Structure 1
Amino acid sequence: MGEHIRAGTLDIWTEQVGHGPDVLLIGGGGDTVESWQFQLDGLADRYRMTAFDNRGAGRTTMPDGPVTAEMMADDAAAVLDALGIPSAHVAGFSGGSIIAQELALRRPDLVRSLVLQSTWPVMDPYLRSWLLFVRWLVEVAPTERAFLEGFFLDIYTARAHNDRTVAAFIDGVLAFPYKQSAGDLQRYLDAFLDHDTTDRLPQISAPTLVLAGGSDPTARPELGRAVADAIPGARFEVMAGESHQPFQEVPDRWNACVDAFWREVEADLDSPPRSLATASAL
């Protein structure tokens, strides 16, 4: 069960499960702890998984004033500090991946590694226009269901729409008691419209895996590739046939991918320096 923890100036709804190396999960627009359910269930046998509701989403309130990616990165840092976690593998998707970038830039001490799903360095005109469309759609859609049905056309694959996976997701969102207001979603989206980490990404030193859905019409693979090319040593993988949120559509495949990456990072961090290893072998 989750609980509110005092993190900075906010009471942030946080859930923590499992045992092992620490992982922090950062959601995208309007998404809450529940968006990571397949990871909380599927990886808790190997990691201590922490997820939280961003400001203005779910059970975390939206303070007055503007919202920025930097501000939300500080929220994420405050969660780790409040829980006494010295460093964690950090995974974020969509807007959450931008928050994760900022966390790695602002508090590198807290970031053991980065997984950036459906990410970008700066919105190109296409992605920016799409985000402005979503900002408009949430205001004018005749019902919440109509908004979700339209919005999710660009988030999930045709496969997930046709096999009723998306319909089940929508039913879950509609039944969720802690609804995000249209205004709070718009303020969240505004934080990313002109946000640009292009020139600062080379400063990220954490081992990084960038994942893109090969069929994602929004955060397209070329945008993820630009992030990976800018971060020293970053790995880039395209999940063919997948869209914006493969961690929900093909969670077993996604979990296996990030688990292999985290295991590799842990092995590298636990290995003694090469000179010492060579000396001991002699």
Structure 2
Amino acid sequence: MPAVQERTRAADGTELAFQVGGRGRSLVLLAGQDNNHHWWDGVREDFEHAHRTITLDYRGTGASGKPDEPCSTAGFADDVIAVLDALGIDSADVYGTSMGGRTAQWLAINHPARVRRLVLGCTSPGGPHAVERDAAVRRALAQPDRRAAEQALLELMYSPAWLAEHHGPRTVLGDPDMPPHARRHHLAASNDHDAWGRLADLRARTLVLHGADDRMTPPENADLLASRIPDARAHVLPGLRHAYFHAGRPAASRLVAEFLTG
């Protein structure tokens, strides 16, 4: 059964669209930068036999409001709390990837009672301690030819072998209906993220996942996060890039499911 979309409002009144599917212990799934809940299409189903999955459209994406105002990863975490409050959920498991992993860090740091177990995928602590993508990657993503930039993003997400066997849909390439001001605010929120000084305060049991061939967010960040978060463990998946959760879906989803239920 497909997820059902519902709506609530953030503390500042911005409308938030969220989607609920499955049954069992609540699991919040947080997407990457510039993306809506479709980031998780084809993956959330792996958890719905044991979890009630909850996604949301970040402000600026999907069916949520699109105010032309600065945002932050900590602010996105507060929006998640608004969704949990609307559903009457006291505590949930949280799985965040890319910018969603940055948001998930603040969710667990600022709202510790609301996060039971935490999975951080293809993400980083941000700030000066993070290992950043190299200049060639930044140039490829910033090139003015949109088709070339999209192809570069696709190749950062998936290996050539995977792309040769899978011709779509491409649900991790950004919300096509996102207005330019929202893209700017998302980029700033992701770039400004720096949770390094607070990661040692994180108390949720944590699993860190990463693709070994990820150039978008280099895999060294997995070890940085695991070394900084108390009792966290990292698992780097060989041969996979930024969208390891799609390309390595069976193994990645199994690792997450075992961690959440073990």
TM-score, normalisation: structure 1: 0.83
CA–CA separation in structure 2 for the residues paired with 1:82 and 1:235: 32
1:34-55, Cα deviation, whole Å (9 max, x unpaired):
1112232221111111011111
Counterpart selection for 1:127 from 133, 154, 175: 133
Structure 1 unaligned spans of 5+ = 265-282
For 2:105, give the aligned amino acid: Q
Counterpart selection for 1:6 from 9, 17, 40: 9
For 2:154, give the aligned amino acid: F
- What is the RMSD computed on CA atoms of the aligned residues? 2.3
1:131/1:189 contact within 8 Å kept: no
1:215-245, Cα deviation, whole Å (9 max, x unpaired):
1112122111101100000011001111111
Query: What residue number does 2:181 align with?
Result: 183
Counterpart selection for 2:193 from 195, 201, 208: 195
1:26/1:52 contact within 8 Å kept: yes
CA–CA separation in structure 1 for the residues paired with 2:131 and 2:223: 17
CA–CA separation in structure 2 for the residues paired with 1:180 and 1:74: 21
Which structure has the highest helix share of the two?
1
1:122/1:195 contact within 8 Å kept: yes
Query: What residue number does 2:27 align with?
Result: 23
SS in 2 for 1:199: helix
2:131/2:220 contact within 8 Å kept: no
Counterpart selection for 1:32 from 36, 51, 64: 36
For 1:188, give the aligned amino acid: H
Establish whether residue 67 from structure 1 lines up as the match of residue 71 from structure 2. Answer: yes
Q: By how many angstroms is 1:82 displaced?
A: 1.3
Equivalent residues in 2 for 1:1-282 (5 A)? 1-8=4-11, 9-122=13-126, 124=130, 126-127=132-133, 129=135, 133=139, 136-137=142-143, 140-142=144-146, 145-163=147-165, 165=166, 167-170=167-170, 179-264=177-262
1:118-166, Cα deviation, whole Å (9 max, x unpaired):
11112547438578547734xx334xx4442222221222222222x2x
For 1:236, give the aligned amino acid: A
- Structure showing greater radius of gyration is 1
Q: Percent identity?
A: 30
CA–CA separation in structure 1 for the residues paired with 2:40 and 2:142: 26
1:115/1:211 contact within 8 Å kept: yes
2:5/2:20 contact within 8 Å kept: yes
> Which stretch shows the higher mean deviation, 119-128 or 33-42?
119-128
Count matched residues: 256
SS in 1 for 2:18: strand
Structure 2 unaligned spans of 5+ = none
SS in 1 for 2:169: helix
SS in 1 for 2:29: strand
SS in 1 for 2:117: strand
TM-score, normalisation: structure 2: 0.89
Q: By how many angstroms is 1:30 displaced?
A: 1.9
Q: By how many angstroms is 1:6 displaced?
A: 2.6
Q: By how many angstroms is 1:194 displaced?
A: 3.2
CA–CA separation in structure 2 for the residues paired with 1:45 and 1:242: 26
After superposition, the Cα gap between the structure-2 partners of 1:134 and 1:51, relative to the gap in structure 1 and judged at 3 Å, is farther
Deviant stretches of 4+, over 6 Å: none
> Which stretch shows the higher mean deviation, 4-13 or 251-260?
4-13
Q: By how many angstroms is 1:186 displaced?
A: 2.5
After superposition, the Cα gap between the structure-2 partners of 1:244 and 1:206, relative to the gap in structure 1 and judged at 3 Å, is same
